Amino acid sequence: MTQSFSAAMEQFAPALPLAVGLSGGADSTALLLACARKWPGQVQAIHVHHGLQAAADDFERHCQDLCKCLQVPLTVQRVDARHAPGESPEDAARRARYKAFEAVVQAHPAPFAISSIALAQHADDQVETLLLALSRGAGVAGLAAMPARWERGGVFWHRPLLRVAGAHVRDWLRAQGQGWVEDPTNQDERFTRNRIRAQLLPALEAAFPSFRDTFARSAAHAAQASELLQEMAQQDLLQVGIPPQLAPLRALSRARQSNVLRHWLRVAHATTPTAAQLGELLDQLAACTTRGHRIHLKVGRGFVGRSGPQLDWYNPEVLV
């Protein structure tokens, strides 16, 4: 169920010391303010300066002023967030941001080590993420949307506001008399996420008033299903082997073949097949009843071919 901002903060119990990812926007400003009050002297902030828009300096100034006023140490990390061909600017910025957070963690060895990092995504962000996943035709891993907590590199990551409606975060912040910087790109409806926020969320609010709760429940079901598929893929990959042997692969159901082949391509070759490529590969597997049956298909960034009793993957660009 959705929560009030105060209830979410009451429940939030991270390992300390804690670093808050502070963009300077309303949500992370509210999170930092609440954390600094709850754990004085145990909280610091990290601001990533993307250098992508003219407003970046305003964000940094707000972060400097806020942290000075709260007596919270601030690390500003400058990154090059230009996007590679084929990558969205938002993905590039996110990737650069996580790298920057990890660099700050590395720069704080014991006894000043950062135990946890908190990010300020809320329930509306979760709904947007789910709708974005649906709009790309994502599978259960994408429909799981954002986890509330996870561990990586010995650091605990948290999204304590994931069940708080966005409007409640802002209401709380206004009630504290604390200002923030409005990101001018948030109004730009050329970005799909902003169109979802401006057009779809009000319509969902009117049609399904509990959409934040029910969508979050669906995302949680998808997360659980995704975990099961992952476990099954690991077990099946042990059975079929790396590279996959045709006989045990063909003994699996089509759905399990699809699951294990996707997993093999990801873990062994860091590539993802399209739905059409995987469908074609499964058709070829079903038709592969004779010794001489040839399989050779474009899959992900390379090719899958039959080589005697097994499937092999290769990328001609890497071979030359």
Give the nearest distance from C-beta 185 to ligand ATP in angstroms: 9
Residue 138 annotated as binding site: no
Rounded Cα distance, 81 and 3, in Å: 34
CA distances from 32 to 133, 145, 235, 280, 296 (A): 29, 23, 42, 50, 54
Residue 23 annotated as binding site: yes
Tell me whether residue 98 or residue 303 sits nearer to ligand ATP (CB atom).
98
Residue 26 annotated as binding site: yes
Give the nearest distance from C-beta 262 to ligand ATP in angstroms: 28
The CB-nearest residue to ligand ATP is: 25
Tell me whether residue 120 or residue 299 sits nearer to ligand ATP (CB atom).
120
Asked if residues 259 and 184 have their Cβ atoms less than 8 Å apart, the reply is no
Tell me whether residue 186 or residue 214 sits nearer to ligand ATP (CB atom).
186
Phi, psi of 311 (to 5 degrees): -100, 140
Residue 58 annotated as binding site: no
Tell me whether residue 27 or residue 236 sits nearer to ligand ATP (CB atom).
27
Residue 6 annotated as binding site: no
Give the nearest distance from C-beta 315 to ligand ATP in angstroms: 34
Asked if residues 47 and 22 have their Cβ atoms less than 8 Å apart, the reply is yes
- Taking alpha carbons only, the member of 81, 100, 90, 108 closest to residue 21 is 100
Place of tokens 């159901």: 253
Residue 27 annotated as binding site: yes
Rounded Cα distance, 29 and 181, in Å: 9
Helix (H) or strand (E) segment spanning residue 63: helix 56-70
Give the nearest distance from C-beta 21 to ligand ATP in angstroms: 3
Residues that bind ligand ATP (CB under 6 A): 21-23, 25-28, 46-48, 50, 97, 119-121, 125, 183
Tell me whether residue 28 or residue 116 sits nearer to ligand ATP (CB atom).
28
Give the nearest distance from C-beta 160 to ligand ATP in angstroms: 10
Rounded Cα distance, 130 and 219, in Å: 7
Give the residue numbers of the binding site for ATP.
23-28
Give the residue numbers of the binding site.
23-28
